[in-house]
Structures are given as structure tokens and as C-alpha cells.
Structure 1
Amino acid sequence: MTDIAPVKPPPVKPTRVLVTGADGTIGRPVVEALLTAGISVTALSAAWSAPSRADRVFTGDAADESLVRRALKDADAVVHLAAIPHPGLGTAREVFVGNTSATFTVLNLAGEAGVRRAVIASSINAFGVPFNRHDLTPAYYPLDELSPVAHDDAYSLSKWVDEQTGAWAHSRWGITVIALRFPLVRNLPELRAFAARLRDNPDELERLAREGWAYLAMADALDAVLRGLTRPITGMHTLLLAAADTLVQEPTDLLLDRFAPASERRRDFPGRTAPIDTSAARRVLGWTPQHRLGDPICLETSA
């Protein structure tokens, strides 16, 4: 059995970060943000669509112990983004086993190596309702980290298990883990184009009610990742992220009346206020979303 690494204070600013999933939608911007912040990057991805600017680059599976051990050399923090990002991109077993084994491998070996900080990508889908095949809506709005779970697909279950793995890794190794529950994350022009397509897609509009029509600008996602790496905190924290408004032009309260009338509403949502509670991210990371699509109906935001 490997000896437990001695507990060291968490770094104020890491010197080298291993980024898994470094060729992904969020992975490439994370690498660039870290380099801009003066942090060295080791980049790991299953494949590459273009060269990475990281000074150390590894190609392969984040569940490969030998590969991850080599990639962790000199790293004092990890951003784990590698995953199959949708239940339809593999069999249930491929999605669940692939995602959870990668997360366990990265966090376990990081802890073993004495790494004291990890940010991992969870999902707004981690509570299971958004992809559930049954006729469900969330138990209540605003969605938060304690929303009751109802898992019916392998992807959502894998993200929820990843969070439990983060708690295990903190208990086992003393590593601080921040699991960020991302909604749809894109640059604002892409988000505006997606929002425009929603107007002609009532089925998708109804499905997205289960995740509060949430989105997040890439700049705000990167800010959360960097804060997760540098804030002077300890423990395991699961944090839900979202912009202050929704993807939809209609007022949120009217949308909830239409698509989720049976769900408890714990407060009102004026204008296009997102029915998402991000107060935990504000409390733990000092994070608040700075970018929004804009609201021609009402510019009020949640308290």
C-alpha cells in the first residue's frame, strides 16, 4: 500500500497544472487562461484537433494510470475535464465506466503524488433530472447543489459519482477538490445563436426547463476554474454555475408556469432571471457571473 503523502498548505497560485481533456471545448480555453496567468501547463487529451501551447503534452486516456503518473510530474494542481460529455456518445457502460474511471484515476494518483488542489468538471445534469426519460421536472426552483437526484442515464450518474469520488479523494489524501457543475458553456456569440434557434424548437425549450434554461459564458467558466485553483480554501465543494439570465426571451416565471407548474417555486424570478442558485460559488470562490446575453424585457437580476 502506498504511504499517504504529507499534507501541505494549498498553493496560493500553482506553478504547474495538469489539464486533462485539454483539447475540449473548455479545455483549450483553460490552457490558454493558465498560460496567460503565468502558470505552466501539462496538457493531456485522448486526441488533438490542433497543437497545444502547453510545454508538456501527453496523448491518451485519462484512465491510464501509467500515463497519468507521467503527466503529473511536477504538477501541484489538476484541472480534470476529460470525459464523454453526453449520454448519446457511447454505450451506457462506455460513458459511465470511462468517465468515472478517469476521474478516480486522476484524483487518486494526484493525491498519491502530493497534489493539494483539483478542479473537476461536473455538470448541471449531475442530479439526473434533465436527461431522465420519464415525465419529470425538478422538485423545486431555483436549482441548487442539493436538488433531489433522479438518475436515468449513464452520463448524469457518472457526473454525480465523480462528485462522490472528489469527496473520497479529499478524505483519503487531503486534496482539496472543487467540482464545478457547468451548464452549457460557450462564447457569447455561439450562445446567442443557440438561443435564437430555441425560438423555433418548442421541444428543446421544454427539455431545457429541467436545467432552468441555464448557460454560462466561457469567460465566467474560466474565472471559476482559476478561482478554484487559487482560493485559500480546503475540503470538497460541489458548486453550481450559471449566468444571471436564461437563454430564453420570455420571462422566467411565465416559462415555469408553462413547463414546470408542479415544481415548487421557492422565490420569484423577475424578468429573465435564471432559476439557478449560484450562492455557494459566490460564498466559496467569491465568484459571480459577469456576462449575460441581455434581456430586452427586463434587466433585473437575482439577488
Structure 2
Amino acid sequence: MRVLFTGGTGKAGRHVVPYLINRGHRVLNVDLHPLDHAGVDNRIADITEAGQMFDVMQSYAGFDELDPGTGVPRFDAVVHFAAVPRILLKTDNECYRVNVLGTYNVIDAALKAGVRKIVFASSETTYGVCFADGERRPEYLPIDEEHPTVPEDSYAMSKVVNEVTARSFQRRSGADIYGLRINNVIEPHEYARDFPAYIADPALRRRNIFAYIDARDLGQMVDRCLATDGLGYQVFNVANDDHSVDLTSAGLVERFYRGVPVTTPDLPEGFYSNAKAKRMLGFRPEHSWRMHVDGSATP
């Protein structure tokens, strides 16, 4: 597929874009900074500028596309990851402005350019746990896509608004628009660097609901979204199968989640459910932190 990818130079994008290229897709990375990777076409553009988004949605990806003499090809899909990636980087109102306005501009321009498949990055933070003031526990376990999304912070608020925006665009257009509630993205080099501390002090992972998503498995998730048509508007949790700490599910409940209702007959291996993505998209995570760090589950 011919894919326009916003934010491909960011932490997640710089792994997802190469994954998509290796799967045979052509990718135009739209970002404020280019991604230096073989096979990637780059365009410098600002998602908060509607005119720039309308331009890139109807532009050549590279010089080779001039050769056929048949005009500008249409993008088959848009993957929108560009955003201020968390709180405490920019002012709260700027984080909200960039993320909300940028998502509106990208989806609007994509649909008006005839794109019928859009995948956008939402966030685990929509559930209100990650950036809560103090401790907020889930309303039930495991957290699935039906769990309430009532966050307190500007970043997560922007992601909730983006989901509403996307759903409204899908209602009018009938296109496939899939939102990914992405958990904490882990790059391969971060396992050896960070996970020994998580093993020693599991409480460090409480705000992430003890979950994570390997950046390479996030690439697989996006590819599965591109390959799966006809779902209309959907949101999917994106996480690996296991916890990011060296505790069993029962051990985590005992230490952190006493009294939180469990809605499944058996405690799952992870509390951030990816069951919907597995069922509807065929998502199958392939990477675990245990492949990189010694550890065995303990009570």
C-alpha cells in the first residue's frame, strides 16, 4: 500500500515505519524532522497547518512517481502518529491544541483526498490511570475498550477528543478509521536498561497498568489494521500479552488491586487486554521482555 505516515520520526514511528516498509508498503513520513532510514520518503510539514496537510495528502512521495506521467497517485491509507507525546513537555494548552487540531486536520485532509483507511494513535492514558493526580485504580480488570475514559490531564483529554473526532468523521464518510490505545512503547534497547528496575520495584509500572508494547509488535499491529477492511470505526488496546514486571497476575492483585472487580473467570497474563485486537485483526505479539532480561514470575 501507498501509506502517508505522520510522526514517523518519533519513538514509536521510527520502528513502525521500517516494519511497514519491510512488509512491502511504500511510506511517506510527514514530520517536523526527517527519518533517516533506507526506503523512507520524507516530507517536512506541520500537522497544525491545514493547508500543509491538504498539500501532502495530494503530493508525490518521491521523484520516481513523476515517471509514469499519470498524475499524483492517491494514498491507500494514512497512519497518524504525530503528536506532543505526553504531558510536561510543552504547556498543557499547547499539548491539547497540537494534538486535537492536528488530528482534525489530518483526518479531514485524508478523507477529502479520497483515502478510505485511517489508523490513528490514541493512548492508554485515556483510561485516566497514567497521569492521574495521586493513585487511580482501574474500575475493573482486565481493562478492555469498554472501560470508562475520563482522564484529568491535557494529553489524555486530547486523545479522548481525537477518538470522538474520528468517530464523527467515520459516521459521515463511511471510511475505515481505527484508533489504537497504545500502551507504553518499549524499544529493544530499553529492556536491558530499564526492566531490571521494574523487576526490583514493580510499583514503577503501576501508572502503565503494568503493561507495555514492544515497538516491533506495534508495527505488526499497524500492519494488521492496514490489512483488515470493513470494520468502520473501532478502537483497540495495543499491548503485549504479559506484564512488564516479574510478578504473577495474582501477585499484582494482592499487592496493588485488592477489591478491584475481575470480570474474567481466570486472571489473564496481562491486565491491559489485547483480546479485541487478536479477535478482530489477528494481532499476535511476538516479543516479550523475558527474551531480553532474566526473570521468572513470582507470587
Q: Quick one: structure 1 residues 216 and 55, their matched pair in 2 at CA, closer, same or farther if it must change by over 3 Å?
A: closer
Which residue of structure 1 lines up, in the alignment, with residue 14 of structure 2? 28
Which residue of structure 2 lines up, in the alignment, with residue 10 of structure 1? none
Which residue of structure 1 lines up, in the alignment, with residue 26 of structure 2? 40
Q: Deviations over 1:190-241 (max 9, x none)?
A: 23432112245x4xx4363243210112221111101111113230110001
TM-score normalised according to structure 1 size: 0.85
1:118 equivalent to 2:124? Answer: no
Which residue of structure 1 lines up, in the alignment, with residue 71 of structure 2? none
Q: Is residue 127–residue 149 contact of structure 2 (8 Å, CA) maintained in 1?
A: yes
Q: How does 1:229-248 map to 2 (within 5 A)?
A: 229-248=226-245
Question: Structure 2: which amino acid aligns with 1:118?
Answer: I
For 2:188 and 2:267, the matched residues in 1 are separated by 22
- Residue aligned with 2:289, SS: coil
Which residue of structure 1 lines up, in the alignment, with residue 54 of structure 2? 69
For 1:199 and 1:69, the matched residues in 2 are separated by 47
For 1:185 and 1:251, the matched residues in 2 are separated by 21
Equivalent residue pairs, number:
279
Which residue of structure 1 lines up, in the alignment, with residue 68 of structure 2? none
Which residue of structure 2 lines up, in the alignment, with residue 262 of structure 1? 259
Which residue of structure 1 lines up, in the alignment, with residue 65 of structure 2? none
Question: RMSD of the TM alignment (CA)?
Answer: 2.1
- Residue aligned with 1:90, SS: coil
Which residue of structure 2 lines up, in the alignment, with residue 288 of structure 1? 284
Tell me how far 1:83 sits from its aligned partner: 0.6
Which residue of structure 2 lines up, in the alignment, with residue 297 of structure 1? 296
Q: Deviations over 1:45-81 (max 9, x none)?
A: 1224x53545642213112111111211231210100
Tell me how far 1:189 sits from its aligned partner: 3.9
- Residue aligned with 2:163, SS: helix
1:131 equivalent to 2:131? Answer: yes
For 2:192 and 2:125, the matched residues in 1 are separated by 22
Question: Structure 2: which amino acid aligns with 1:254?
Answer: G
Tell me how far 1:109 sits from its aligned partner: 1.0
- Residue aligned with 1:171, SS: helix
- Residue aligned with 1:28, SS: helix
Q: Is residue 209–residue 256 contact of structure 1 (8 Å, CA) maintained in 2?
A: no
Q: Is residue 177–residue 235 contact of structure 1 (8 Å, CA) maintained in 2?
A: yes
Q: Quick one: structure 1 residues 172 and 125, their matched pair in 2 at CA, closer, same or farther if it must change by over 3 Å?
A: same
Q: How does 1:84-123 map to 2 (within 5 A)?
A: 84-123=84-123
Q: Is residue 17–residue 219 contact of structure 2 (8 Å, CA) maintained in 1?
A: no
5+ residue gaps, structure 2, are: 59-73
Q: 1:223 aligns with which of 216, 220, 235?
A: 220
For 2:38 and 2:285, the matched residues in 1 are separated by 27
5+ residue gaps, structure 1, are: 1-13
- Residue aligned with 2:143, SS: coil
Tell me how far 1:90 sits from its aligned partner: 1.2
Which residue of structure 2 lines up, in the alignment, with residue 153 of structure 1? 153
TM-score normalised according to structure 2 size: 0.86
For 1:258 and 1:173, the matched residues in 2 are separated by 47
